[in-house]
Structure 1
Amino acid sequence: MTGSADGLDALLDQAVRLREAGHREEARVRLLVLRERFPDDARVAYQTAWVHDALGLEAEAVPHYVSALAGPGLAEDDRRGALLGLGSTYRTLGRHAEAVATLTEATAAFPDDNALKTFLAMALYDVGRAHDGMRLLLTVLARTSADPDIVAYRKAIEYYTQDLDAREDTA
């Protein structure tokens, strides 16, 4: 991180290191202070959301994720992480439609991210779109698995992602 007003970058780095070292509550306290001092800083909002999620305080994480994603200031990897965090947090909280909307936006923005697709598949299941979720998971599996048993059936798996109800002609 580069230098910033009032040493924000150094303070943010310290809080992140605390979280990474397992001192999550101390990191949370520091990040909440930083949020008060720098309410418009997307990086601070994202890290505050993350630590709340890590502590199992999902409902408290949501407004920080929303704030982090509301404007500019996040690096692409952090934006991806914030979208995944918000989507999965909505899902955990039973806010399934919001989870689908957030994760759909995320997969459109980051189409190669298979973690996002996996969380979207779970959210689709939650809203009664199991077919769509299964199709998405099978696509991820077929494209990413190195398991020899999956590789041997990759073409068949890919075929069924197009029509899960298709049956092989037995005549």
Structure 2
Amino acid sequence: MEDHEEKNGTLAEAVALREQGRKEEARERLVALAAQHPDDAGIAYQTAWAHDVLGLEAEAVPYYERALAGGGPAGTGLSTEDRRGALLGLGSTYRIRGRHEEAVTLLTGAVEEFPEDGSLRAFLAMALYNTGRHHESTRLLLRLLAATSEDPSVREYRRAIEHYAEDLDAIE
């Protein structure tokens, strides 16, 4: 039990350091903690995030992958919100690392799992664009715009935007 409390305390301290802007210190603590607890998905996720905020995307990937794998039999899974964040983080990281098809595959699954999450759809649209699927990307962004915009002029033309999103090449 003591190890569990110590682990949680160290994790909380590292997250607090990141939130205070002491990102490198947080990353160092999390790397050490992840090495001590390789089956803990939550620690892996926080470690990935710590790398990501420092622009160390390549180093973040294995931690995101470990977090989403859920750890081993002794491991702990992610909360729903952390899973959503890890999917977004890994998908975005795949995209900016040039792993576009992997980003599309991962983010497509994430959108199916979390259909209400507009940020996942936006990042999927970017990945689709990077794979040359421009129509699909634009369609997804137009649907997102129509569904979520509070801009009165967009809301006024919402039905038209949704209609044209289905076939951008239509000529009437």
TM bracket, shorter-chain basis: over 0.9
1:156 counterpart (124, 140, 160): 160
Give, as a single letter, the amino acid of the residue that structure 2 aligns with 1:134.
T
TM-score with structure 2 setting the length? 0.93
Q: Does 1:55 align with 2:54?
A: yes
- Listed as ranges, the matches of 1:12-161 within 5 Å are 12-71=11-70, 73-161=77-165
Q: Deviations over 1:67-123 (max 9, x none)?
A: 000025100000000000000001111111111111111101100000000000000
Runs of 4+ in structure 1 deviating by more than 2 angstroms, as ranges, are none
- Give the distance between the partners of 1:166 and 1:7, measured in 2 at CA: 62
Unaligned runs of 5+ in 1: none
> What SS does structure 1 have at the residue aligned with 2:6?
helix
| Aligned counterpart, 1:11 | 10
Give, as a single letter, the amino acid of the residue that structure 1 aligns with 2:47.
T
Count of residues in correspondence between the two structures: 167
Unaligned runs of 5+ in 2: 71-75
Instruction: Tell me how far 1:10 sits from its aligned partner.
Output: 1.2
Give, as a single letter, the amino acid of the residue that structure 1 aligns with 2:32.
V
Cα RMSD, aligned residues only: 1.4
- Give the distance between the partners of 2:5 and 2:150, measured in 1 at CA: 49
Give, as a single letter, the amino acid of the residue that structure 1 aligns with 2:19.
E
Aligned residues: percent identity?
A: 60
TM-score with structure 1 setting the length? 0.94
| Aligned counterpart, 1:165 | 169
Q: Deviations over 1:4-38 (max 9, x none)?
A: 62521111111001011110000001001101110
Give, as a single letter, the amino acid of the residue that structure 1 aligns with 2:17.
L
Q: Which moved more, 1:42-51 or 1:6-15?
A: 6-15
